[in-house]
Structure 1
Amino acid sequence: MAVAAYASLVSLAHVLDNVHCRAQLGRLHVDMKQIEYLEEGVNFFLKFLEVNSGRGEVNGDLWKQLGEVVFAAEQIIDFHVVYEIRLRYQGETGVSGLSAFKEDIEQVIDSIEYIKNEILAEEEVPKDVQPGKQPKLSEHGETSSVTPSDGKNTIVGFDEHEVAIMDVLTRDEPNLQIIPIVGMGGNGKTTLAKAVFDNQYIADHFDRCIWLTVSQEYKVQDILVGLLNDGKVKANDGNIDRLGESLHKELFKRRYLIVMDDVWSVQAWDDLRKYFPDNCNRSRILITTRLYDVAAYLGSSTYPMTFLDSEKSWNLFCQTTFGEKDCPYPELQEFGRGIVENCKGLPLEIVVIGGLLSKSDMSREYWESVAKNVSSFGNSGYDEHCLKILSLSYNHLPIPLKSCFLFLGSYPEDSKIVVADLTRRWIANGLIRAVDERSSEDIAMEFIKDLFARNLIFVRKQTIIGKIKVCGIHDLLRHLCLKEVEKEQFIRSPKVQDTKNDGAAVCFLCGDASPDDVIDVSKLIFPSPSGVSPPSICGSCRMMYSHITRERLAGIMSGSHDEFDFLHPTQARYVSVTTREDVVYVWPSLQLLWNLQTLKITVYEPSYQLVFPDEIWEMPQLRHLVVTPRMAIFPDPATATHAEGRESIVLEKLQTLSGIRNFNWTKDALDRIPNLNTLEVSYKSKGEGSTESSNHSLCNLIQLQKLQSLKIAFAPKNIAFPSSLKELCLERSTYKIPWSGLSIIGSLPNLEKLKLREATEGSEWYPVEGEFLRLKKLTIWYSDLVQWRADREHFPTLEALRLQFIDSLEEIPSGIGDIPTLHRIELEDCGPSAFDSACQIWEEQQSMENDTLEILVKYRWEWHPISKFIRQHESEHEDEEEFQHEDKNGDD
């Protein structure tokens, strides 16, 4: 129960910080001495658990009791704060409820003091547990001298498997073939299939390559949409026949490879097989499954995945643990080989235990203890054996990392987990404890890297500069998460809410369809108006939050019932709203979500703009506000009404402001958001009225010295860019920048990504040496550029170049190909001259044995390597020469 108690304590610490802030600014009536005493108790337990995380629990019952007390404290505080906000919203004072609140908090403090004394009686408190000290976090509670794994998805021992599968896929059998790869979970089926799928030879061999994960619970329409959209499941109208017909047409007369990963039933295949045409052109379908009967049903040439032998197991272990082919520590070899032997050739176990040991201090004593633990699992059944091996790595995680790892179990099986979304949900659930001067976001990204290095998550997608963008978790590890969550009673209250307003019945907490239970309207803080149905809640949420005796909900109304009627838990910290309705105003009582950190609003088919209330400036916990599409009106803080004598709130935690339109960036407004990191704004297009005469004070943006990402659509004149910028995107600018004027942007010292879409004017660009010194990715869309003169000195660190819809460009400068860091050029709908110069660059780099540069061309909505077009051109040229030769002989 220690992990759940720790997570609850971190969450309460965030709540108390918010209470402290609001009280100091005169927004809340509390006894500050009580709050500070409660904070001291919370900090004591946090530090105690951090220091003792590797030494076992003191007493499970005490941690369970502590978790319940902390949960009760959050409920009490939430009720009091919401009560005061409601009274103030109605023009009344909240002092009348202070006495009862003090009595409730006093009981919480007494309970915490009792538990503290009980723990002190059982355990000697380490010296590190002192106010103001942050204990060192490692798996042993000590500083570890680590030789970490490089975290790569290694496929050591799979080489012959990869060759064999590629041979089956490319042999001359003309008929459509289904090749199932079968084996137990964790033995590398997906890793092997992915290695084959990503092989350049395979990409060149097939006209269309699609990867899709099927999993146990699937919907045929989602699979079909995913196949139509290269594995990305998008919204659809649910008509299976129409989708299937579209897929059949898409694949007809094309040689295709489809990888269907993690198939659990023959029904999944039977539901789809009629949509895959047999073109007799060597198309293939590669399937991975754990079930031998499914594999036998699907294909005659089943490929079984065998366990690794002892030598390959050892090589994989060493590569994972040390990044080398062998163990560099002779005194650890005996223990290491014993550990590997007990993993029984299962790759997942080997890489997970290797990830654990790669983070250790490489001491003989520690390795011996791990070896003894692993060997004790030898007589277990295989499923139990796997879980015990994996739980060993979990048990040795630092306790702050344990709670974040367990949270991964809340994602559906085989999910593509967007890292930005995951880290925000970690923070919103109170799982990240900010320490020193580091932000919660920075600490969350460190946790992502740590979990990756320990092989507890894997990378699905990276950014061009190598950051993890999308990750995943293996099914066996997810199963471990679910078991630990159940044991810990980990998630205690609904702090994250996904709301969909598309007419379908969905759970108002998680957004899942077909809820099987309904909350009683009488439990709402604000009664539901007549004609509005009570909110629905699904069975899984009802079960997860079964310990909550009274739902804390607030009805957030705006104008009429049919505009934007949503119900939210007042403790929600992360709210994602998706709606197809026209929205005029966003909840005038938004401030009831007093702990809100992230607000995402997506409006499909909008005809009106969102208008945020003045109360948005009264939310000091707000970190991310994202509106899609860019259509939100943000209130001017100068016109926002504040009670007389109260200090203005500075939104110090606000980092992301996206989707804002026509905002005036006055000095006062910028003073209120000093730590903004990401900004996306737009201004009226010419069709809506020119902005050239309007003053939106964009020159004041230079004041945002922590701004790293800036995106402006329909930008007017007079923009000043802060030197902190790393990413800049200018779209459809009202005022076009002449190419010679790009020196202002080129001189930004930290700029790494630049995207220009209909943002420039002129036909010539001659960059100046000494600019764009750190630029890694350059994208140019819709430009009249004709002549571009540049070489490696002008973009010395460029890694990726993307040119789209540039018909007039005479050539891509040949010197671009000589940039040593460049590894990718992409062309989409550019003129033949640009294409020819790209071919020339590729051939020149190939002649110099530069195999790292990849040049891709988009053709028929797909990206193809330029080498494919070069070979086609050469083949056509050879055919023409042969025809001419035969014709000449015929004349003779």
Structure 2
Amino acid sequence: MAEQIVCFVIDKLIQLLITTEANLSRDTREGVRFIRDELESIRSFLKDADAKAAADGETTNDTVKTWVNQVRDAAFSIEDVIDEYLLRITLHHQDIGFIRFFHKTIRLVKKMRSQDGIVSKVDRMKELVRDIQERRKRYELSSIDQQGRDNAEKTLPWHDPRVASLFIEEAEVVGIESARKELTDLLVGGAPRRKVISVVGMGGLGKTTIARKVYDSLTVMDHFKCYAWITVSQSYRVEDLLRTVVKLFYNSRKENFPEGIDTMDEESLIRKSREYLQQKRYVVVFDDVWRVEFWEAIEHALPDNEGGRIMITTRIQEVAHFCKKSCFVHVHHLQPLPPNKAWELFCRKAFQFELEGNCPPELKDMSLDIVRKCEGLPLAIVCIGGLLSTKVKVVSEWQKLYNSLSSELGSNPHLTILTRILSLSYHHLPYCLKSCVLYFGIFPEDYSINCVRLIRLWIAEGFVKLKKGKTLEEVGEEYLTELIHRSLVQVSKVYIDGKAQSCRVHDLLREVLLKRCVDSSFCHVLSEDDSTFKPTIRRLSIDISPSDALGGITQSHIRSVFTFNQGEWPESFLNTLSGNFKLLKVLDFTDAPIKQLPKYVGDLYLLTYLSLRNTKVELLPDSIGNLQNLETLDLKQSLVYEIPAKINKLVKLRHLLAYYRDYNMEFCMNTERGVRIHEGIGCLQALQKLYQVEANHRGIKLIKELGKFRQMRKLGLKNLKSKDGRDLCASIEKMNHLESLDLSAISEDEVLDLESISTPPEFIRSLYLRGRLEQLPSWISNLQHLVKLVIFWSRFRDSPLKALQNLPNLLDLRLGQMGYDGGQLHFEEGGFQKLRYLGLRDMEGLNSLIIDKGVMPVLQEFHIGPSPQLKEVPSGIHHLQNLRYLGFYGMPKEFARHMHPNNGLHYWIVKHIQDVRFGYKFGPRYDVYERHSQCES
């Protein structure tokens, strides 16, 4: 962890030199460069120390640990000096003209060269890093450099905890029957060509166990003439790996090794392997592969023989897929144990020596809580169950373990293997991703965080590094994707196009991350059990009453504050935050029961992220204009309606998110309210998201200013009028990067005039149009990247389906309260080839719905209603062979008779649409029929 903190500070030093060089004296610049260079040298040592700690199970000697902690604290001190300097510079920039700014800057620089200024502080920092370097040499810690290099040339030590997975008895294995059969069939069957079978999953899921059981089975052994099992792990030398493969192949046939094999180079070993495997069916398992380069190292040693099979186990999806460039690959994503199998495994371990493996009734509820905590992770169930088998079988003892599981993971020898296995993936991360994954320790247990919110937070913290040709948001999305592909982060919910919408980490991995967060001063969770924190802590996650937290908060170098307690919020707590946390960068009040911001929130000049989402805050203080480093202002579901004019000063603002939706109202134009914003916002040219703004507040002037937002990705406007159309279209055409557009008219009868757009932004993926359209704008049918289309309150002269049916990437189509001459919708053959979701809502004039064969072949969800004129089941609905949900709502009595469970037509529909669920609503009554229960009976 110390390595990424040092790297982070190095980046800040470089940024300091770039952005404030004119304000620094020559000696000070040289001092900053000296500190940067010394930290670079220290960073190299830390990287080796971290590698050795990971390899040795974090059993590094105390001298090294002490020195690493001193490095970390020194890095924090340097960061504090930088941020305090930037704070003073920012403070003197407020509300002054250029001439006054120039003269004030001169006076400020002179002041900072005094004893209390930047010069003396840089000198102290230089002495600090000199002392650290000398201390390392004094205690001969440099020897670890060599140890680290030696470690990189060999696999993990003999006490590698994963070895135990190779020797699990058959009776101890639970819940792998179907996966074992599938993998066995893949090995012994299929085309007579070389094939790779990759088993992917997070640490502790049982990849090695299932691969070993398949490998050892008689079915597999009888099918191949030679075989080999190699544990690869994070560190290996290619020559040693190839040499091991060749030796194991010879050994499997009880043949002597070829002469001189121990001195052969890489090319000779590849030739020897290919020569030996010619005309032989072989199987080789490479267990625990971490690098994508692995396949390039061994693929030529394994010829494309008839029946050649390679199995790889890995935590990293990219490793699993990398082999596809040169051979057929089947990727098997290993799943957690289902609840019944998890319970069976737990009982076998916890009660293995008594009670005949059965859980006593008085322990069942507590045991079920423990099993749920393991979330189907076999290693966790085995380790915790094994530990409980040594405990007295009383509820109090088991409750004690459950409550103290976090500390037990770090100290109990029964759980060491679990902690180390879960930690391996963390150790293997590049430094920029380590901070990103530690961020999950901030959020409560079982908390799923929106992916977009998470990425914005990473950016606000400075974790995301800019790449040429990409926005920070795009780079952050790459970071998250990599963490998902490394099996560290779990996707909780996906958008219709498969992109992650929300994510979380396994509860036990979170416990491991939490301990690392505290040890490294990354974050501290203020709870009833632990309401004090170290002065070096950088982030606070408050999970207790703010009143209780007040006692522990004094003048602090905290950078981020998160709140997750719904208790009463005293005004004194809010004032304490703005008064004591001057270096704050992130302030996230999401869901907090607060009604106002502290008056002096504008004093937090370094703030980059402010969230008031789902709070009772109604007004933003004028001091918000002082937050000139603010990048994200999240006001969703707050009561803020008027944005102060001083928002125009926030030239770094990238995301302004503000609307309020009343979920108690029936769906209509007034269900959702935007915010009022003053004209003059055209200076906020860094804006990427502006959602939602009431366009009628400043009218044409505001709409014309929108054309200045060339970086805009998501735009939402409400209360549009017909006369706004031409200027709105002109502004939209200038937004070349626009991906999401949401436009709502001021009333259901107001025309949305969008005909003037001739060249729409080509990357639009989501389009929401709420207002009267008499015909579908022609440019919509040219949106090649469009994924989601929502149109409400239109009055088309002709059906819009023909213009939409050939959109190549349309997945989600929702039409509502729409009318047009004819009353019939006809989905014609060949159209909507990728559509997965179709919603037809409040279609009052719809009296006939026809679905041709071959249309919407992959449709999964279909919602219709209320449609009071639709009296018969849509014709051709049985063609939708992939339908999983079919909903009819608010239909007439005639339709209801067709859909009654006792009616033959109802049964006929169920028979033709596999796994379909029915729901339809008549007045207040809502009935759902499951295909495998009432429907078939």
Equivalent in the alignment of 2:916: none
| Residues in 1 aligned to 2:423 and 2:521: alpha-carbon distance in whole angstroms | 17
Aligned residues: 623
Contact 2:625 2:650 in 1 (8 A): no
Residue 600 of structure 1: how far off its partner (Å) = 0.7
Deviation at 1:477? 1.3
Structure 1 residue 144 corresponds to structure 2 residue 182: no
Write out per-residue CA displacement over residues 726-780 of structure 1, whole angstroms, 9 at most, x where no aligned residue.
Answer: 33333433xx3333x3431110121111111225533533514884122121111
C-alpha distance in 1, partners of 2:385/2:365?
25
Say yes or no: does 1:722 pair with 2:760: yes
TM-score, length basis structure 1 = 0.57
- Aligned counterpart, 1:467: 499
Counterpart of 1:504? none
1:10 aligns with 8
Aligned to 1:790: 827
Please report how far the alpha carbon of residue 843 of structure 1 lies from its aligned counterpart in structure 2 after TM superposition: 2.7
1:458 to 2:490 alignment: yes
**Secondary structure, in 3 states, of the residue corresponding to 1:632?**
coil
- 1:267-291 CA-partner distances (Å, limit 9, x unpaired): xxxxxxxxxxxxxxxxxxxxxxx99
Equivalent in the alignment of 1:591 = 626
* Structure 1 residue 820: Cα displacement: 3.1
Indicate how the Cα distance of structure 1 residues 16 and 694 shifts in structure 2: closer, same or farther if over 3 A, else same: farther
Indicate whether 1:749 and 2:781 are aligned: no
Deviation at 1:704, TM superposition (A): 1.8
2:573 to 506, 523, 536: 536
1:200-599 equivalences under 5 Å are 293=362, 295=364, 381-491=413-523, 510=542, 513-518=545-550, 535-536=572-573, 552=583, 564-568=597-601, 569-578=604-613, 583=618, 586-592=621-627, 594=629, 596-599=630-633
* 1:516 Cα offset (Å): 1.2
Structure 2 CA distance for partners of 1:307 and 1:481, relative to 1, 3 Å: closer
Correspondence for 1:287: none
CA contact (8 A) 1:419 1:469 kept: yes
Among candidates 802, 811, 814, match of residue 851 of structure 2:
814
Q: Distance in 1 between matches of 2:370 and 2:460?
A: 44
User: Retained in 2: the 8 A contact 1:8–1:70?
Assistant: yes
Q: CA deviation at 1:44?
A: 7.0
Distance in 2, matches of 1:713 and 1:28, equals: 51
Query: Residues 430 and 344 of structure 1: is their aligned pair in 2 closer, same or farther, counting only changes over 3 Å?
Result: same
Aligned counterpart in structure 2 of residue 712 of structure 1, from 743, 747, 770: 743
| Separation in structure 2 between the aligned mates of residue 567 and residue 152 of structure 1, nearest angstrom | 55
Indicate conservation of the 8 Å contact 1:790/1:816, yes or no. Answer: no
Conserved 8 A contact 1:5-1:64 = no
Aligned partners of 1:139, 1:691: CA distance in 2, in Å?
A: 63
Check 1:512–1:478 CA distance in 2 against 1; reply closer, same or farther (3 A cut). same
Provide, for residues 319-365 of structure 1, a one-character-per-residue CA deviation record: whole Å limited to 9, x for no partner.
xxxxxxxxxxxxxxxxxxxxx9x88867999xxxxxxxxxxxxxxxx
CA contact (8 A) 2:607 2:627 kept: no
Q: Are 2:715 and 1:679 equivalent residues in the alignment?
A: yes
Confirm or deny that 1:613 pairs with 2:613: no
1:660 alignment partner in structure 2: 693
Alpha-carbon distance in structure 1 between the residues aligned to 2:852 and 2:38: 64
Specify which structure has the bigger relative contact order, considering alpha-carbon pairs within 8 angstroms and separated by 6 or more residues.
1
1:384-410 Cα deviation digits (max 9, x unpaired): 442233223333333333322222121
SS in 1 for 2:813: strand
The alignment partner of 1:470 has SS state of strand
Indicate if the aligned counterparts of 1:574 and 1:598 stay in contact, CA closer than 8 A. Answer: yes
Gaps of 5+ in 1: 129-137, 163-180, 189-289, 309-315, 318-339, 350-376, 495-506, 526-531, 641-648, 879-892
- The one-letter code of the counterpart of 2:886 is L
**Structure 1: distance between partners of 2:609 and 2:348:** 33
* TM-superposed deviation, 1:480: 0.9
Q: Distance in 1 between matches of 2:346 and 2:690?
A: 46
CA contact (8 A) 1:182 1:292 kept: no
| Conservation of the 8 A alpha-carbon contact between 2:715 and 2:740 | yes
- What code does the residue aligned with 2:730 have? C
Q: Say yes or no: does 1:96 pair with 2:107.
A: yes
Give, in angstroms, the shift of residue 589 of structure 1: 4.5
Residue 409 and residue 520 in structure 1: after superposition, are their counterparts in 2 closer, same or farther (change >3 A)?
closer
CA contact (8 A) 1:518 1:536 kept: yes
Identity over aligned pairs, percent:
16
Q: How does 1:612-631 map to 2 (within 5 A)?
A: 612-619=645-652, 622-629=653-660, 630-631=673-674
| 1:427 and 1:440 in contact (8 A); partners too | yes
Give the deviation of 1:836 after TM superposition. 1.3
The yes-or-no answer on 1:699 pairing with 2:733 is no
2: CA distance, partners of 1:306 / 1:659 = 40
Q: Deviations over 1:61-82 (max 9, x none)?
A: 4443343333233333333333
* Distance (Å, rounded) in 2 between the aligned partners of 1:469 and 1:483: 27
> 1 CA distance for matches of 2:706 and 2:434?
40
Structure 1 residues 456 and 566, CA, compared in 2 at 3 Å: closer, same or farther? Answer: farther
Match of 2:77 in 1: 72
Bigger Rg over Cα: 2
* Structure 1 residue aligned with 2:886: 856
What is the deviation of 1:415? 1.3
CA drift at 1:825: 1.9
TM score, norm. by length of structure 2? 0.55
Of residues 819-828 and 512-521 in structure 1, the stretch that sits farther from structure 2 once superposed is 512-521
List gaps (5 residues or longer) in structure 2.
Answer: 55-59, 150-232, 236-289, 295-317, 322-329, 351-358, 387-408, 527-538, 558-568, 588-593, 661-672, 746-751, 909-937
1:822 partner amino acid: L
Contact 1:186 1:346 in 2 (8 A): no
**Using the alignment, how far apart are the partners of 1:185 and 1:458 within structure 2?**
27
AA aligned to 2:632 is: T
Q: Counterparts of 2:348 and 2:519 in 1: how far apart (Å)?
A: 24
Contact preservation (8 Å) 2:574, 2:598: no
1:600 and 2:670 correspond: no
Q: Indicate how the Cα distance of structure 1 residues 428 and 841 shifts in structure 2: closer, same or farther if over 3 A, else same.
A: farther
Spell out, residue by residue over 1:3-57, the C-alpha distance to the aligned partner (whole angstroms, 9 max, x if none).
144146437736864x577659x99999777777766677777788679864548
Contact 1:573 1:597 in 2 (8 A): yes
Cα distance between partner residues in 2 of 1:27 and 1:707: 38
2: distance between equivalents of 1:37 and 1:767? 68
The answer to whether the Cα contact below 8 Å between 1:725 and 1:748 also exists between their aligned partners in 2 is yes
Bigger helix fraction = 2
Equivalent runs, 1:753-772 vs 2, <5 Å: 753-759=788-794, 761-762=796-797, 764-768=799-803, 771-772=806-807
CA displacement at 1:84 relative to structure 2 = 3.4
- Indicate conservation of the 8 Å contact 1:54/1:139, yes or no: no
Residue 783 (structure 1) shift: 1.0
Moved more, 144-153 or 87-96: 144-153
Q: Distance in 1 between matches of 2:49 and 2:727?
A: 54
Q: Aligned-residue CA RMSD in angstroms? A: 5.5
| SS of equivalent to 1:478 | helix
Q: Secondary structure at the match of 1:767?
A: helix
Deviations 1:489-530 (A, max 9, x none): 223999xxxxxxxxxxxx9985864431437999699xxxxx
